[in-house]
Structure 1
Amino acid sequence: MRIAFLNPTGQLGGAEHVLLDVLASLKSARPGWCFAVAVGSQGPLVDAVRALHVPVSVVPFPKRLALLGDAAVGSAGILAAGRLGLNLIAAIPTTLRYRGSLREWLHAFHPDIIHTNGFKMHLLGPLSTPNGSSIVWHIHDYLSARPAMKRLLRLQDSRVSAVVANSDSVADDIRALMPAAPVQAIPNAIDLDHFSPHGPVADLDSLALAPPAPPETIRVGLVATYARWKGHDVFLRALAALPRSLPIRAYVIGGDIYATPGSQYTLGELQEMARAHGVASRVHFIPFQPDVAPCLRALDIVVHASSQPEPFGLVIVEAMACAKAVIASGAGGAASLIEDGLSGLAHTPGDAASLASAIRRFAEDPGFRRACAGAARLRAERLFARERLATQLIPLYLRLAADPKAARARAAAANES
């Protein structure tokens, strides 16, 4: 079996971490299979793939294609949507040239399966596929929130043999928009040996260039990219609502890792936001960390604050596996990851008062905090071990390789029943 994975960036976001877990799981379960990865830019993902002893090639996105995206359009109004439409038209010649480069790479590898990871590769993969290869889309986001992409993907769904969704919530969203698509929910999973209570612990104050915190300090952290919907504003407003007597030091750990303009905050914007809410002395910023496990171990409370429904919420599971008290936004795929009050606490998305209440409850009750952290680790061991990824993906790949058209028909029929 020969499987090619296509990813639009060489940076490390949530979808890229999932890709690495998929590769590690498959290589362990099927060491005789051949895997190769193509990415659209240089970045830490390239070295991470090579560390798994998987061949990786950079097929670089032209700048116009790299900057193209609709992540910021959903709530930005008609003018933003119009600009996106013009940019899409302007990018057609560039996209066609890139399609030729990608097709050349795919023909050289001659895969049985092409597994795409990211909206741009979902579009380009079917256009570049050699005869006899099956396409699998691995979708990590809600199509309904992507006005342009959902329309473009609908035009391509007849070329796709299977769609993998990272949660039941995302799978339901895809089925609502593309009823004929053969969708299978395969929740994300992680390396439970790497994300565990045992291992290196980061010096958060040193990373943040902050003075050492007093010994009794409770460390609360938001670990996320700077995407605008990740709830940084909600987190900062929640911190402002907490009493000054509570011995809390907060950290924002992440960065603006994506090329698409308008989709994320800058560090300067977040620092100004902290000053505006009066919490600049209480919150510290740590740049993007390729490995967040040491940072998670250093925190007492890990906050997930997404203001929109989260497709999955990988950092929630990573923090659970590190036996940390987790507060998660209670919507979308993230809502099913913890058991509210048992293995974590849920808060209302976008509601700073609700988040502040959850932080305060954990901060003021160390016994409850420890109990939830222990239950979180047990839940992660039961549901999110990455070996499960191979267990679910291998039968799908084998079915597609045996008869791609029949596999698609069976999957579509199953969706209708």
Structure 2
Amino acid sequence: MKRFARILLLVLLVGGLWLALKPTLGKHRFTFLPFRWSEYIDLMDFWLNFGAFGILGATAWLAFGSFAKAFRLILLMTGFITLLNVILELAQSSIPGRAVDIADVWAGLLGCVLGIFSSMALQLWSIRKKADVTAPQVLFLDQTGRLGGAELMLLDIAAARAADSEVLLFQDGEFRTALENVGVKTRVCTLGEEASVVDKQAGLKRILRSIPSILELMLQIVQAARSFDLVYANTAKSLVIGGPAARLAGRPLVFHLHDIIADGHFSTLNQQALVLCANFCASSVIANSEATKEAFIACGGRAELCTVVPNGFHIPAQRTSAETMKSLRASLGIPSAAWTVLMAGRLAHWKGQHVLLEALKSVPAAHAVLLGDALFTDEDRQYARQLHAQAEELGGRVHFAGFQKETMPYFDMADAVVHASVYPEPFGRVIVEGMLAGKPVIASRAGGAAEIIQHEHTGLLVSPGNATELADALLRLQNNSAFASSIAHQAQQTAQDVYAISAVQEKIESVIRQVSGRHQPESTSSIIPSPCAA
């Protein structure tokens, strides 16, 4: 386009100069036209100048324009073309009876400006139309069929671009059903049994046994990725397998980091493998919190790859009715007037349900609901059994709700929400869900949770694993309803402003377009997130 515009600009300049200067050579009319036509042209000089310089300005912008330095370029082009117009007017003043016509200069200036802005508007319209038509096609990868926090985030991302994307899962399960229910095309390429049991704490021996199965899946991903513009790895395992596959397929990769890469979450070997794959295979790393980003960089991750985008949430127009909440309490066996604490999330030691049960001993009038189940490992299932044994000591004040697809009624039913992770958590989805429900939230002062909550303004923060501090915070909320209501209201407003799903989807879509090469750097750079600083 620019090459054609430059050729046309050259033709216009040569032709225009010839037409303008030819009368100065002695023949003061357009000799190739009948005399009467030439007189008419003289009378229409203002509008001819306006139109001619409008075409010249429009062509000049198409040939050399750039939105990156638009104001400076407009001034340069307008100044150059106006100077050329003045020189021509001075040259034409040598024609007998012809003086410098200031009106013609103004006509050229106005025509040039209008031509430039018309060309800019046409260019912007063309860019936006092309962007809508050529949205990048994305192959999303996720390791599990279960609905965890990372999967809920991917569900929203994929649903927003269901028309041009597909999700490839390494396991079948309710996640596939949820994706298909919102119109997302899904396929399952099952990971072999040896590889599927490799978790974040796996050692070298277990990893080596899983290699044949991993290679088989990797080849399937290579074949699938060739039909897409970009690969998007949503979990650590999907990065380790999908990253090299994207490289082999010649496709850029975005890695969505939902985990803090540190001891307690990953074995040393897995930390090294994860960071190596991200540095070598990923074009961009989306971290769900500053804590996640900082842990990634501390382990050797490249800071320039990283963009922080928090999880997004749907803000429902209506909450749960009083009758539904009453029925839910009755089904769980909770007295209607009992002050109730909700803790939601996978039953796993690092989530800290045992800390809440220990704290509950010092809050005798309170009941607790544990929403979630042991999802992934034998260690989780053993921990769940320990929790049931610990709950028996509290005389029926602990209620296990299990895994639930619809969680909002549980948040609305509770009087307070607790997040008690003993290790720094990357984000803390349940914290925001509690805030959106208008409930006071107590969270561990570590990781992403400490970024979400402002202590004593939008919630309370306690030391990780400290049951005494947690008990004191519970008693404070239980005994001071005005304070609890105040921080709950502030938290709800903050969550609605910061974590709305539409804003988060826009940021992630900007990263996808940037990495895929379908972004418009000159016209949309203002909405693309800046890379994280180290």
Q: Which one of 236, 242, 247 corresponds to residue 119 of structure 1?
A: 236
Question: Is 2:168–2:189's contact at 8 Å kept on the other side of the alignment?
Answer: yes
**Residues 403 and 17 (structure 1 numbering): CA distance in 2 closer, same or farther, change over 3 Å?**
closer
1:177-198 CA-partner distances (Å, limit 9, x unpaired): 234351111111111127x645
Provide the residue aligned with 1:173 in structure 2. 295
Matched, 1:8 2:127: no
Q: Name the CA distance, whole Å, in 1 between partners of 2:425 and 2:451.
A: 11
Q: What amino acid maps onto 1:189 in structure 2?
A: G
**Structure 1 runs not aligned, ≥5 long:** 74-80
Provide the residue aligned with 1:57 in structure 2. 187
Instruction: Please list, as runs of the form range in 1=range in 2, the aligned pairs for 1:169-318 lying within 5 A after superposition.
Output: 169-180=291-302, 182-193=305-316, 197-198=319-320, 201=325, 203-208=327-332, 210=333, 212-213=334-335, 215-242=336-363, 244=364, 246=365, 248-258=366-376, 260-263=377-380, 265-275=382-392, 278-318=393-433
Provide the residue aligned with 1:68 in structure 2. 198
3-state SS of the aligned residue for 2:249? Answer: coil
Matched, 1:150 2:271: yes
**Residues 414 and 316 (structure 1 numbering): CA distance in 2 closer, same or farther, change over 3 Å?**
closer
Cα deviation, residue 69, structure 1: 0.9
Q: Name the CA distance, whole Å, in 2 between partners of 1:152 and 1:202.
A: 49
Cα deviation, residue 395, structure 1: 2.1
**Residues 51 and 202 (structure 1 numbering): CA distance in 2 closer, same or farther, change over 3 Å?**
farther
Provide the residue aligned with 1:355 in structure 2. 470
Q: Name the CA distance, whole Å, in 2 between partners of 1:178 and 1:393.
A: 24
Cα deviation, residue 267, structure 1: 3.3
Name the structure, 1 or 2, with higher relative contact order (CA <8 Å, separation 6+): 1
Q: Name the CA distance, whole Å, in 1 between partners of 2:140 and 2:351.
A: 27
Q: How many residues align?
A: 383
Q: What amino acid maps onto 2:245 in structure 1?
A: S
Q: Name the CA distance, whole Å, in 2 between partners of 1:180 and 1:394.
A: 21
Q: Name the CA distance, whole Å, in 1 between partners of 2:425 and 2:388.
A: 24
TM-score, reference length from structure 2:
0.68
Identical pairs, percent = 27
3-state SS of the aligned residue for 2:233? Answer: strand
Cα deviation, residue 270, structure 1: 1.0
Question: Is 1:207–1:286's contact at 8 Å kept on the other side of the alignment?
Answer: no
Instruction: Please list, as runs of the form range in 1=range in 2, the aligned pairs for 1:316-331 lying within 5 A after superposition.
Output: 316-331=431-446
Question: Is 2:360–2:471's contact at 8 Å kept on the other side of the alignment?
Answer: yes
Q: Name the CA distance, whole Å, in 2 between partners of 1:102 and 1:225.
A: 29
Q: Which one of 146, 164, 176 corresponds to residue 46 of structure 1?
A: 176
1:1-35 CA-partner distances (Å, limit 9, x unpaired): 101110100101111111112224x33xxx7x501
Q: Name the CA distance, whole Å, in 2 between partners of 1:20 and 1:201.
A: 27
Cα deviation, residue 378, structure 1: 0.3
TM-score, reference length from structure 1:
0.86
Q: Name the CA distance, whole Å, in 1 between partners of 2:274 and 2:421.
A: 25
Cα deviation, residue 261, structure 1: 3.5
Cα deviation, residue 166, structure 1: 0.5
3-state SS of the aligned residue for 1:100? Answer: helix
**Residues 371 and 414 (structure 1 numbering): CA distance in 2 closer, same or farther, change over 3 Å?**
closer
Question: Is 1:40–1:60's contact at 8 Å kept on the other side of the alignment?
Answer: yes
Q: Name the CA distance, whole Å, in 1 between partners of 2:284 and 2:383.
A: 37
Question: Is 1:6–1:37's contact at 8 Å kept on the other side of the alignment?
Answer: yes
**Residues 294 and 224 (structure 1 numbering): CA distance in 2 closer, same or farther, change over 3 Å?**
same
Provide the residue aligned with 1:77 in structure 2. none
Q: Name the CA distance, whole Å, in 1 between partners of 2:206 and 2:436.
A: 42
Rg larger in 1 or in 2? 2
**Residues 61 and 201 (structure 1 numbering): CA distance in 2 closer, same or farther, change over 3 Å?**
farther
Q: Name the CA distance, whole Å, in 2 between partners of 1:202 and 1:112.
A: 50
Q: What amino acid maps onto 1:167 in structure 2?
A: S
Question: Is 1:226–1:265's contact at 8 Å kept on the other side of the alignment?
Answer: no
**Structure 2 runs not aligned, ≥5 long:** 1-135, 522-527
Cα deviation, residue 265, structure 1: 4.3
Provide the residue aligned with 2:210 in structure 1. 91
**Residues 292 and 403 (structure 1 numbering): CA distance in 2 closer, same or farther, change over 3 Å?**
closer
Q: What amino acid maps onto 1:168 in structure 2?
A: E
3-state SS of the aligned residue for 2:464? Answer: coil
**Residues 289 and 12 (structure 1 numbering): CA distance in 2 closer, same or farther, change over 3 Å?**
same
Q: Name the CA distance, whole Å, in 2 between partners of 1:355 and 1:154.
A: 35
1:267-286 CA-partner distances (Å, limit 9, x unpaired): 322111223xx314211111
**Residues 305 and 292 (structure 1 numbering): CA distance in 2 closer, same or farther, change over 3 Å?**
same
Question: Is 1:228–1:265's contact at 8 Å kept on the other side of the alignment?
Answer: no
Q: Write 1 or 2 for the structure with the bigger share of helix.
A: 2
Question: Is 1:140–1:166's contact at 8 Å kept on the other side of the alignment?
Answer: yes
Give the CA RMSD over aligned residues. 2.4
